[in-house]
Amino acid sequence: MNQKYRVALVGCGGISITHGGAWENLPELELVGICDVKLDALKNFAEQFGVKNTYNDLRTMLEKQHPDILVVATWPTVHLKNILEGVRGGVRGILCEKPIAINATQIEQIIQVATSANVRLMEGFMYRHHPLTLAVRQRIDEGVIGEVRFVRATFSTGLPDRTNWRLRGEFGGGAVMDLGCYCINCIRYLIGAEPTAVWATGKFEPISGVWETLIGTLDFGDGVTGQFDCSFGWIWRESYEIVGTKGRMVVPRAWSNGEGKCSFTLIANGHDETIQVTGINPYAAEILNLCESLSAGIPPHVTMEDSLWNMRVIDGVHESAHTGERISISEEKKGITCG
């Protein structure tokens, strides 16, 4: 991949700093502009990464800088607007932070518009690009633990700041939208199928309009099951376990793996084996994967079909938690709002 890609960023909050740090030493990228309605966030990012072209209007940035790739790191409720503006502005690729939209209906609209304009889209599930995740999936594909019958995933973190977008329904917050989306994505990815039904329960905060805690079960049929829990009210926890007919794997650090050594445990044939993996920066890996997708004309690791199914499950989980009922999932399942 010899081409250099012009990259623009909208949204200069905390996660954008992580992206910026990952891009600093990538010769394939040139950060040509940043945009945010919050002038302090814009100023801080520009000073930290030496960006000269700053904007508080996305359309203006796109018209003046003509980027190849737009990275969207704003609140979930404005992702759709930002993505449509990027498509209108002529970008070739868009990397959008998760969740890429607030319901499946929005994603269907995004897919239709992006496909018509030949724009490559990818949702920012950075863990999917990390060597540890790929090594776990490789063991599954090799049949080391037999047929996968159960996957359990967990993600919780304390979040005392009530003004944070994650605890505000009007911004697309909620435990599943920020944390559980990883768990659901991981369960689907490792099982390699889509659930037929879900049911969930948890703690809803009516003042902020979000689920602070959600615990859900995904039914894949034929006795194959996934379970997850996510919460803003519990201590930091992140892990997943895959159980097969011949063994199991335990990943104690699920989503925050970066550079350096990381590991997971394989339990099979009466033996426990710790498998070490050399990590990379997953935020660098995901944008380079989008660049490769553009240059080679191949799908990215996380496709929009994958993202659509993930949101169908999220919609179903929210509906089940609200109604107390088991919710069927299908391609015809329409999105509902996340609150």
What is the structure's pLDDT at 169?
82
> Sorting pLDDT into bands at 50, 70 and 90, what band is 336?
very low
pLDDT exceeds 60 at position 333: no
pLDDT in tens, 232-261: 989 999 999 999 999 999 999 999 999 999
Nearest CA-CA partner of 125 in 218, 257, 35: 257
Q: How many CB atoms lie within 10 A of CB 255?
A: 20
- When pLDDT is averaged across residues 69-97 and rounded to a whole number, the result is 98
At a CB cut-off of 8 Å and minimum separation 6, what does 182 contact? 98, 125, 127, 153, 155, 254, 255
What is the structure's pLDDT at 90?
97
Domain span(s) for CATH 3.40.50.720 in the chain: 5-97
Supply 281's token pair.
């920066």
What is the structure's pLDDT at 1?
60
- When pLDDT is averaged across residues 163-192 and rounded to a whole number, the result is 92
pLDDT exceeds 60 at position 332: no
What is the structure's pLDDT at 116?
97
| Confidence (pTM) | 0.95
Q: What is the DSSP letter of 252?
A: S
Residue 106 and residue 314: Cα distance in Å, rounded?
13
What is the structure's pLDDT at 103?
97
pLDDT exceeds 50 at position 335: no
pLDDT in tens, 299-320: 999 999 999 999 999 999 999 9
Nearest CA-CA partner of 176 in 309, 311, 63: 311
Question: Range with the lowest mean pLDDT among 21-35, 61-75, 148-162, 245-259?
Answer: 148-162
> Sorting pLDDT into bands at 50, 70 and 90, what band is 338?
very low
pLDDT in tens, 278-301: 999 999 999 999 999 999 999 999
Note the helical H segments in 71-174: 79-88, 104-117, 131-141
Higher pLDDT among residues 33 and 3, named by residue: 33
- When pLDDT is averaged across residues 47-59 and rounded to a whole number, the result is 97
Domain span(s) for CATH 3.30.360.10 in the chain: 127-284+310-328
> Sorting pLDDT into bands at 50, 70 and 90, what band is 331?
low
Average pLDDT over all residues of the chain:
94
Percentage with pLDDT > 90 across the chain:
89
- When pLDDT is averaged across residues 105-118 and rounded to a whole number, the result is 97
Topology of domain 127-284+310-328 in CATH is: Dihydrodipicolinate Reductase; domain 2 (3.30.360)
Higher pLDDT among residues 17 and 170, named by residue: 17
Domain 5-97 in CATH 1.10.10.60:
no
pLDDT exceeds 80 at position 161: no
The residue written with tokens 């917050």 in the block is 173
What is the structure's pLDDT at 337?
37
b/e per residue, 44-54, with b = 16+ CB within 10 A?
bbbeebebeeb
